[in-house]
Structure 1
Amino acid sequence: MIALRNFVCGLFHPFRSREDGAVLTEALVAVPFVTLFAAGILEFGNIFWQRMQIDAGLRDAGRYMSRCRPRPDPEPTCEEMARKIAFYGTQASGTVLRVPGWGDDLDDITIIPLNTDGTIRVQTVHVYQSSPVFAWLGIDEITITSFHEERYIGW
């Protein structure tokens, strides 16, 4: 054991007696933690951004449903149009989704048309598609749940 200690002390003796290696050692210790911290900040920022986009989509769909008049049969229903507005921000199909992976098949939103108190409820559950950093840290999938209620006004 003493021989091992003498070997290790002899190996690192040049670094102990000078301060040239201090900055390198400190950087080797600090950089992984700072990198992980920065990646976590970016990831949680992305989660909050997606939540805000989902809230905006549900709010827009609820506003549309609160003013929507039933349409004739060949035209899309109010619910179909509200879903497109929620997912794409417009009534046109084929544009970019507000949130990646949310609303690919237009079934991720539940629209409850009229409750007994005259409100329309629009709700969704979305599983956040995280980066590999969360998987590496062992963090389970994050589920974003949101809803919006709007009073039915009609035309």
Structure 2
Amino acid sequence: MSIRQFLLRFHHDDQGAALVEIAIVTPLVLLLAAGVFEFSNIFNTRLLLEAGVEDASRYMARCSSDWDTCSALATNLAVNGAVQGGSERVAGWTTGQVTITPVLSTPAIDTATGTQLYLSSTGNVVVVQVKTSYPYPTLGLWSYLGFGDVKLTVFHQERVLGW
């Protein structure tokens, strides 16, 4: 039997075609699923960081003690979800990665557009800004595909009502 006759035998044979198709498609589907899971985890981490930064800025905006006391408590609130104690919101996120700065003279009205940013009887308001930058620890399977490190940066500003 020649090679031509041998190959012609398989010309109309469909047995095993589904197995071959699955063998081709499975790695792509698994890669896509890994990407979806990793993206979801990154997105969840960013939302937790954002919630912590917003909580800290709201606390700072209403704190009536001195700056150092308020900022220490607000930093712990951002990272641990409680003013004192608490448990970490995000694994590996430390209080040293949170920066709290006052912006003492923020215009209440944007001069370029005329948009009212803050309701105020004065032209300027005091705003506190809380910012963090968190290096995402690992990309899992995506790191093998050449994706570099991911750094999540979040900030929030809040008008100060206390002090």
Q: TM-score, normalised by structure 2?
A: 0.78
CA distance in 2, matches of 1:48, 1:147: 16
What is the CA deviation profile of residues 68-118 of structure 1, one whole-angstrom value per residue up to 9, with x for unaligned ones? 1225xxxx811111011101111232x431112211xx1001100343220
Alignment pair present for 1:121 and 2:129: yes
Number of corresponding residues: 142
**Correspondent of 1:142 among 138, 150, 153:** 150
Range 60-69 or range 128-137, more displaced: 128-137
1:102 aligns with 2:93: yes
The equivalent of 1:48 in structure 2 is 43
Which residue of structure 1 lines up, in the alignment, with residue 117 of structure 2? none
Structure with more strand by fraction: 2
Q: Contact 1:114–1:152 (CA<8 Å) still a contact in 2?
A: no
SS in 2 for 1:113: strand
- 1:117-150 alpha-carbon deviations (Å, 9 max, x no partner): 2000101111112232121110001111110001
* 1:102 aligned counterpart, secondary structure: coil
- For 2:8 and 2:99, the matched residues in 1 are separated by 68
Displacement of 1:15 after TM fit?
Answer: 5.6
Structure 1, gaps ≥5 residues long: none
How far apart, CA to CA, are the structure 2 residues paired with 1:67 and 1:78? 9
**% identical equivalent positions:** 35
Q: Which moved more, 1:83-92 or 1:144-153?
A: 83-92
Amino acid at match of 1:112: T
Aligned residues of 1:58 and 1:123 also touching (Cα < 8 A): yes
**Structure 2 regions of 5+ residues with no counterpart?**
107-125
Query: CA 1:119–1:26 in 2, change beyond 3 Å: closer, same or farther?
Result: same
CA contact (8 A) 1:125 1:144 kept: yes
CA contact (8 A) 2:38 2:140 kept: no
Normalized per residue, the structure richer in helix is 1
Q: Retained in 2: the 8 A contact 1:15–1:21? A: no
